[in-house]
Amino acid sequence: MKFAIQVNEGPYQHQAADSAYFFAKAALEKGHEVFRVFFYHDGVNNSTRLTTPPQDDRNIVERWAELAEQYDLDMVVCVAAAQRRGVVDEGEAQRNGKDSTNIDPRFRISGLGQLVEAAIQSDRLVVFGD
């Protein structure tokens, strides 16, 4: 089965990010395909490379990044939600006059069309969070 996954909640304020990660990991380990993971609303905060949780806590951003690297996942962050929350890549930083970036390089910023395409191309769109 081919899945598209939408994550709507941030990494430490809600269980949704953990649940989405474990769902994606389990699906991939069972041989299913994850067409794309789309981070929307507060879910875009799962992509910031500046997250530094305490040593005894889980690093959800790093978990996502490692999973993306291991399975060559397409990890897309909604551009409008990212801009509202201060998550920027090089292109967005230049366009908006910012002096730095904070997105992990294993994520990319794009528009809602990427979510629509993922839903069309997949057998199921699974949404985590409100």
pLDDT in tens, the chain (130 residues): 999 999 999 999 889 999 999 999 999 999 999 999 999 999 999 999 998 999 999 999 999 999 999 999 999 999 999 999 999 999 999 999 999 999 999 999 999 999 999 999 999 999 999 8
Of 7, 20, 24, 78, which one is the catalytic site residue? Answer: 78
Model confidence pTM above 0.75:
yes
Q: Is 78 a catalytic residue?
A: yes
- For residue 20, give the H/E element and its range: helix 16-29
Residue 6 CB coordination number (10 Å): 23
